[in-house]
Chains A and B, each alone.
Chain A
Amino acid sequence: MASSSNCKAEIDADDEVLEESIEHFDDFTLASSWERFISEIEAVCRLWMADGPKNLLEKGAVLLESYGNLYKVKSEMKYAMKSYFMEYYFESNPMGKAAEWNFNLHDLQLCFGVKEFLVIAPQSASGVVLDAPEASKLLSAIAIALSNCSSLWPAFVPVHDPSRKAYIGIQNLGTVFTRRFEADRIGSQVPIKLMHLEGLYEIFVSKFAYSTLDLSIHVFKVQFSMRLTYRTIAYEDDDDIKGTDAGVTKSGDNPNGEASNRTQWDDDCSWSEWYYAEDPVRGFELIAIWSEKIVESSMEMAELENSSPHEAEKWFITPNFSPNVLEGSKGKRIGFSSQLHLVVDALEMSFEAQFIEDFVSAENPGSDNLKSMVIPSPTVIDRVMRELFHDGVQLTDFIDGEHKTSRAIKGAPLESLFAQFCLHSLWFGNCNIRAIAVLWVEFVREVRWCWEESQPLPRMLMNGTIDLSTCLVNQKLQMLAICIEKKQQWNEDFQDCLGSEDHSDSMTEDESVAGDDSDTMHKPSENFSGKVDSFSIADDSHSCGRTIAREGKKTEDLSPRDDKKSSENTRRGSAGIIDSMMLLKSYQSMHAPYTQEAPLMTEDMHEERLQAVEAFGDSFNFSAQLEKEILTSDMSAFKAANPDAVFEDFIRWHSPGDWEEVDLEDSVSQSGVGIEKSKDNWPPRGRLSKRMSEKGNLWREIWDSVSALPASEQKPLLDPNREGEKVLHYLETLRPHQLLEQMVSTAFRAAVDTLNQTSYGDLKQMGTKMDQLYLTLASGLKPLQVNRLSADSETINDLRRLCIVFEHVENLLTIAASLHRKILRAPRLSKEIFDDFYNFYSPRMGTGLTDDVVHKEHNVKVEVRNQERTVVSNMFSPPTANQSWRKVLSMGNLLNGHEPILREIIFTLCDEVNGNHYAGRDAGSSQNELKSYRMYTCGTSNDLRVALSVVSCD
């Protein structure tokens, strides 16, 4: 104290010369700055101690996310013109015992086996005390402060260069014992001895065995535990040549011939047809843990080094994700979502022009950014057209595997012509509005060619209906496909009627017609087979009518050609006898007629009809116009098939509800067996319902007015020539924004349908996410169905948000697919890893257009069960010669030839505490054993870190 007051006096002397000359104080109240520093530390510590973890939490202690439930509070102080900070780390639940190999331990906890601790360090850029004297002074200051307030917290001070991660520390264990800590690291040229377990063991023993003599005589029961980390060869390593871009290979200096043949990880994923996704899982790390083992000699250590990781007690696996996945790579990632962004941009642009052609023409006076848009070369256009129209097959059914909500998105089915057009345009050029316009014009031109040449449209579902839940363009194409089919049949019939050509003749003729079109891209061979198919179809449903009864009866029927020569009363257009139905007047079997197919309508035709009905108000008969035509046609066909039929017969067939049978059983019971049994129920007794028999009944009016005509000779309800032309007119005059609106919907649907085909195993969260995405898309795309005349910025922004939602799900799916493929045999592991990643990722899945990054580290470790170990160890394929030359193996415990990338060991030596009079008590444990020596080492063959803690008796 005297020295410090002297020192104090010296400082004061300069300032207070006057006072000194008058009187000299022996100032015992003032302490030296060092003492003030100590008391400052002491005050802070007392405060923290008094508060306890609970209050500190309330006062806003910071949670360190990566370390489980570790919190920290911080205080700043000054000493000798330098500022320092002191941090107290504690756990919210101080009672729990620290597990040795817990994965979320703080570095210092791991190194020194402590729980709560203090760290004091200067406020400098590096945060490290550089010179040893300063460090030890700091440490003694904190030691004094802690003992003053009789705290048992360990305290640490960092020393040296930060890269050495060196610390010194001290802990007061009560009255007698003190524990000292020291940690340091060798960054290179680790002595060979220390590369091996044996050498590390001997280093530890040397800390308490004072001579070699001791080593041989005493048997030290050293506790040993070890954690080894292995890493699979990064999957990306395989791809690094490929990753540099395919452009290199194209330019000629093919660096590696095999690169082009190499399979990508996502080859069997549904998206690989459109793009290559970077593998989000770079590899895996395996952590094998040998827990508590008593080692008595260095020989045992040498043996341990030879043991395989399969002998370790516990295995954990952790994925090594690509940083792009973890940090979120907005805009960098190429996938459906990036292209969907572009097509939404195109939609925004599309309002700028009236016609598609405006975007195509070069002398377009439009804005500059239009001119800068690139249109791919004609060869690319040709390739896309060929893929769309010529490599496509006729589809029979593409509902297979379709998601249940897919239909709710108003687009087109994935395999259909328009959906494929949309997917192609996503990747055509950079999906700008000009490229889309060019592609569309080509597309329509090709569709017209099919129409003019009566070639079936490819990629259309031919089930004779128009699916009104799809987008209008698709409906129109369906209509066109049907019209083309009908036109073909009619040409066929026409030729039949001429009676001069048989099938083979007409086929060759058609073939030669097709062959003349030298300027089209059709391959004659394909054309030929297509022709044959269409003929066989035409053959089956020869007379273009819908068959109500069995199709096989057809041969019995008279062909229309023969009918012409027949007299008026001959039966025509019959599809077969209806069982148990007899005509009322003539007692002949009733024949069901072939009838015309009900005319098909696209939704705009329905809409027109609805508007017309509204416009005409309640004038009743208007709305029935179309149906009246159908009824007329049916009656006419019925009359032809049943020349002797009366109106009642028609009603009995067509609307049985309006034929009221007189209860036969009543009459039977009344008149006994009087009715002739042989004739069964004939003539049927009954009458028309009241409404049918009323005067002026529309049905009867129509019946009376129609003449008998089989369906094949009637005026068609649907005129294929007219309707087909209308469809092409629609396609050719479609407004740009109308096209783009439908393209956006269809592209979204086709993209999500494509993704949905990827298998990712039984990952429930992924399934739920996909379901949600479908629902979000279905409702998010609804606004597009409203016809609009200008770009509505809110709608566009909503669509952009949809793209972001899409991107998140796409990312998740890539990960799910990658995990599933890599750990196929242990689905539980992939599920656990994915679930954890999902929990990590889902907070980031905002829909905002701005980045809101959530900082959280991702480090899941999933325990591997015994039966799953083979699966995991198989992922560590033995390194190839090419890979193994890179490293000289110098550590033991190889796993399929892989040496660990990190080896961590904890040695401990426990001493019995002799006699209670020491009153020494470890803060953390109540047992009488004291870990007198503890050493943690961590490293590889060329990097070693050692942390030692020693208890000594003062």
Chain B
Amino acid sequence: MDSSSSSQAEFDYLFKLLMIGDSGVGKSSLLLSFISDTYEDLSPTIGVDFKVKYVTVGGKRLKLAIWDTAGQERFRTLTSSYYRGAQGIIMVYDVTRRDTFTNLSEVWAKEIDLYSTNQDCIKMLVGNKVDKESDRVVTKKEGIDFAREYGCLFIECSAKTRVNVQQCFEELVLKILDTPSLLAEGSKGVKKNIFKEKPPPSDASTSSCC
């Protein structure tokens, strides 16, 4: 995953990624760590923040528009609109705070169901702050089980030590590239002719009944 900030205008695909999770789990730090390879204790995000990063994956030049939302409840009504059209959604929790993990199923997964417009959009579960191993309360296995239940990717990382941060985004982008419908959405200007594709196979159970 090569980063290149020079070729701003040239890209093959534009993907919109969204980061959600309770306040203080380290979404902004994670993003900053990915974008600029630095780590700072950031002020809490107010509402929503937005970053663009150009990367090259598998020979494809990608423009990633990453929306980093605030976890505070008050901003939730506002952030709902950012779910629209996202090809990837990153759900972040803090491995040292159990409530941030349980809120994923109680709050955030429901928000996704409610607001996401994209059936195929890739969801990724990220357990942050693994550098504080001694304070850990959510085990890796719990994370894996959750990911399996919700059908999403799973990784544990640390924005502070930058362990797995690059891999986290790379994995997500690769998965999006693997999904034709998302790829089609992301390709600007490259128009697809649906009629030249094979017609969708009709439901086997219904077409074979006579």
Contact = CB atoms under 8 A, between A and B. Distances in A.
Contacts of B50: 610, 613, 623
A618 B51 contact: yes
B46 to A, nearest CB: 4
A610 B195 CA distance: 33
Interface residues of A, number: 53
Given A623-B50, A627-B46, A698-B46, A601 B210 contact: no
A699 B206 contact: no
Nearest to B84: A468
Nearest to B41: A691
B109 interface: no
Interface in B26-60: 35, 41-52
B196 to A, nearest CB: 10
Contacts of B209: 764, 835
A780 B46 contact: no
B49 A624 contact: yes
A598 B43 contact: no
B70 interface: yes
B78 A630 contact: yes
Contact of A801 (B24, B43, B117, B195): B195
B210 A839 contact: yes
Contact of A698 (B43, B194, B207, B210): B43
B117 A469 contact: yes
A520 interface: no
B150 interface: no
A603 B117 CA distance: 14
B47 A631 contact: yes
Interface stretch (A155-163, A652-660, A916-924): A652-660
Nearest to B194: A779
Contacts of A601: 81
A847 B199 CA distance: 10
A768 interface: yes
A808 to B, nearest CB: 12
**Residue of B41, B43, B51, B117 contacting most chain A CB atoms (<10 Å):** B43
B210 to A, nearest CB: 5
A598 B84 contact: no
A879 interface: no
Contact of A630 (B35, B47, B49, B84): B47
A698 to B, nearest CB: 5
A610 B65 contact: yes
Contacts of B207: 765, 768
A828 B46 CA distance: 61
A690 to B, nearest CB: 6
Nearest to A405: B119
B88 interface: no
Interface in B75-108: 75, 77-78, 81, 84, 100
Contacts of A630: 47, 74-75, 78
Contacts of B210: 832, 835-836, 839
Interface in A421-469: 468-469
B142 interface: no
A606 B42 contact: no
**Residue of A657, A690, A839 contacting most chain B CB atoms (<10 Å):** A657
Given A627-B47, A775-B200, A598 B77 contact: yes
A598 B49 contact: no
A345 interface: no
B17 to A, nearest CB: 13
A786 B206 CA distance: 36
Contacts of A469: 84, 117
B191 A620 contact: no
B146 to A, nearest CB: 20
Interface residues of B, number: 41
A628 B203 CA distance: 51
Nearest to A776: B194
A614 interface: yes
Contact of B22 (A657, A690, A779): A657
A788 B179 CA distance: 27
B200 A627 contact: no
Contacts of B42: 691
Given A627-B70, A627-B75, A620 B49 contact: yes
Nearest to B189: A786
A141 interface: no
B159 to A, nearest CB: 13
Contacts of A606: 81
B4 interface: no
A533 to B, nearest CB: 26
B203 A407 contact: no
Contact of B43 (A614, A634, A694, A783): A694
A634 B73 CA distance: 13
Nearest to B76: A598
B153 to A, nearest CB: 24
A697 B43 contact: yes
Contact of A772 (B41, B84, B200): B200
B186 interface: no
A6 interface: no
Interface string A754-798: 000000000011001000100110011001001000000011001
Contacts of B78: 598, 627, 630
Interface string A374-407: 0000000000000000000000000000000001
Contact of A768 (B51, B100, B202): B202
A697 B45 CA distance: 11
Nearest to A466: B81
A626 interface: yes
**Residue of B46, B77, B117 contacting most chain A CB atoms (<10 Å):** B46
**Residue of B51, B74, B191 contacting most chain A CB atoms (<10 Å):** B74
Given A610-B50, A627-B75, A765-B207, A847 B43 contact: no
A894 interface: no
A622 to B, nearest CB: 9
B71 interface: yes
Contacts of B51: 618
Given A627-B48, A836-B210, 10 more contacts: A620-B49, A624-B46, A624-B47, A627-B75, A630-B74, A631-B46, A657-B23, A658-B44, A794-B191, A835-B209
25 contacts: A598-B77, A610-B50, A610-B65, A624-B45, A624-B47, A627-B75, A655-B74, A657-B72, A657-B100, A689-B24, A691-B24, A691-B41, A691-B42, A691-B43, A694-B43, A699-B43, A699-B46, A765-B207, A768-B202, A772-B200, A776-B194, A776-B200, A780-B194, A795-B191, A847-B195
Interface of A: 407-408, 468-469, 595, 598, 601, 603, 606, 610, 613-614, 618, 620, 623-624, 626-628, 630-631, 634, 654-655, 657-658, 689-692, 694, 697-699, 764-765, 768, 772, 775-776, 779-780, 783, 786, 794-795, 798, 801, 832, 835-836, 839, 847
